[in-house]
Structure 1
Amino acid sequence: MTTLWLTRIIPNLQNQQARRDFRNAVDLHYSVMKLFPDNIGDEARKQLGILFRAETTPQGTYLLLQSRTRPNLDILPAEYGSADSRPLTPLLDALRPGLPVRYRIDASAVRKPRKSMQQLYNLKPIVALTGPAAIEWWERQAEQAGLKLNTTHATRMDAASGVKAQDKQRVHNARTRFEGDALIEDPDLLRQRIADGIGRGKAFGCGLLSLAPAGPAQ
């Protein structure tokens, strides 16, 4: 498997561009993509395996960025903030069946109603899920990723939104944060889903699955 890199960027929120990026998912996407080669062609984000998630904690705000290619952090603007990268290889190599882990993901939980249902109930082509329906969606995704969930806590997040510069198309991806404890059932499948991301909106801060070792399951 290609090496995955995990980068942590701690923004200087006194910097105008950093403040703008962390308020707008589209601007953040553009800033992230600038850290990588620009000659990849179509579906560059997918080919480079770029996924990211903004975190706000009592200690401050930061960005987690995962990619198949190490980003060029020298491209970050002066006074944008601090950053460092490290390979995810030790974590991924340690995954084994039955290993207890903690997980976190900001995901866009949605469903696509059949056209007959759309017409009957005047539904949009893509419907955002919340509450128990969102949790059921995540349970299916986790099972398909080789995880057996023990606990799940779901928190509805602000949508990942913004306006694309090229065509002025508005981006709006509903987000739910899922976190809890799980056991690994299929390490190979899990490694692949970590690399690929889960769900929609991967270009705008959704789909990055993070794992950390947990204590023995009770």
Structure 2
Amino acid sequence: MFLSRFRVNTARPGARRLLSSPQAMHAAVMSSFPHILPSDAPQPDAPRVLWRLDQRARAEVLLYVVSPDRPDLTHLVEQAGWPAVASPENPGWQTRPYAPLLDRLAAGDRWAFRLTANPVHTVRRKEGEPRKLTAHLTPVHQMGWLLDEERQKRLGFRVCEKPADRRLLPEGTTHRKRPHPGDRYELAIRDSRSLSFDKSRASGDRRDKPVTVVTVTFEGRLEVTDPDVLRRTLTRGIGRARAYGCGLLTLAPLTQQTS
């Protein structure tokens, strides 16, 4: 497994096109692996290509890619990077093996983390109607999605709780009737977006309804509960919309900023 980082040159037209369409970015990322054909579907229980965009400032956008094979991002450098300054020693992106981090995971260890996900649930609006997949839209429910005990068990970690002296209220809530998890847990929402884009078709003039994906970027601290399960989470992703930049969880030592 490999972890790659690519800085996007937001001043270039190609970069703006990629940043405006998760589908276009997904296609560009997958083109980094010559042996993967567009028609190839990821195997359910195998490591897959995951990606995420982190916008740290208005003109600083970083693309992270986790992949079973080392990628070749030359085409991204040409479209959305700084090709004039690229060289064999500095091709315009950084790739490093992921195994050293995966191998050092141990139960009880604590890490800073960042995750962009698509928190959804199913609802039935009327009796007798089939349940419909719906995005969580409020911070309380979005946090609740990640804090679900069964979900965390399946992912191999638990989000850490804040020490009592760092909570605003003794019970760790900000509302008596509706607890707010942001005061109890080491968890924050850094970004929430609703992305709407057209899904291109290989042939024909038929136009489907635009695809809408609600993405939420979480930051916080976690404790490893099952190292083997967490390794699978890090290499297979979390939740839905992984083709559209969701599901990639990254870890960093607590003494450093989340990567």
Larger radius of gyration: 2
Given that residues 47 and 236 in structure 2 are in contact (C-alpha distance below 8 angstroms), is that contact kept between their aligned partners in structure 1?
no
Extract unaligned runs of 5+ from structure 1: none
1:162 to 190, 197, 201: 197
Give the direction of change, closer, same or farther, for the CA distance of 1:125–1:193 in structure 2 (3 Å limit): same
Greater share of residues in strand = 1
3-state SS of the aligned residue for 1:118?
coil
- What's the counterpart of residue 172 of structure 2? none
Aligned length: 209
Q: How far, CA to CA, are the matches of 1:183 and 1:15 in structure 2?
A: 40
Query: Offset of 1:172 from its aligned partner?
Result: 1.4
Query: Offset of 1:42 from its aligned partner?
Result: 3.1
Q: Establish whether residue 138 from structure 1 lines up as the match of residue 178 from structure 2.
A: no
Given that residues 23 and 244 in structure 2 are in contact (C-alpha distance below 8 angstroms), is that contact kept between their aligned partners in structure 1?
yes
1:147-180 Cα deviation digits (max 9, x unpaired)? 1211111245112432122164422111111111
Counterpart residue type for residue 42 of structure 1: D
Given that residues 117 and 240 in structure 2 are in contact (C-alpha distance below 8 angstroms), is that contact kept between their aligned partners in structure 1?
yes
Counterpart residue type for residue 17 of structure 2: R
Q: Once structures 1 and 2 are overlaid, which stretch shifts more, 202-211 or 49-58?
A: 49-58
**TM-score, normalization by structure 2:** 0.73
Given that residues 49 and 68 in structure 1 are in contact (C-alpha distance below 8 angstroms), is that contact kept between their aligned partners in structure 2?
yes
Query: Offset of 1:94 from its aligned partner?
Result: 1.1
Q: Establish whether residue 128 from structure 1 lines up as the match of residue 135 from structure 2.
A: yes
- What's the counterpart of residue 209 of structure 1? 249
Extract unaligned runs of 5+ from structure 2: 82-91, 161-185
Q: How far, CA to CA, are the matches of 1:77 and 1:180 in structure 2?
A: 31
Q: How does 1:37-186 map to 2 (within 5 A)?
A: 37-39=35-37, 41-44=39-42, 49-58=48-57, 60-76=60-76, 78=78, 80-81=80-81, 82-113=92-123, 117-120=124-127, 125-129=132-136, 130-140=138-148, 141-150=151-160, 151-166=186-201, 168-169=207-208, 170-186=210-226
When the two chains are superposed, the root-mean-square deviation of aligned CA atoms in Å is 2.4
Q: How far, CA to CA, are the matches of 1:39 and 1:48 in structure 2?
A: 16
Counterpart residue type for residue 101 of structure 1: W
Give the direction of change, closer, same or farther, for the CA distance of 1:66–1:168 in structure 2 (3 Å limit): farther
Given that residues 27 and 162 in structure 1 are in contact (C-alpha distance below 8 angstroms), is that contact kept between their aligned partners in structure 2?
no
- What's the counterpart of residue 27 of structure 2? 30
3-state SS of the aligned residue for 2:132?
coil
Query: Offset of 1:13 from its aligned partner?
Result: 2.1
2:234 to 188, 191, 194: 194
Counterpart residue type for residue 13 of structure 1: T
Counterpart residue type for residue 30 of structure 1: A
Counterpart residue type for residue 18 of structure 1: A
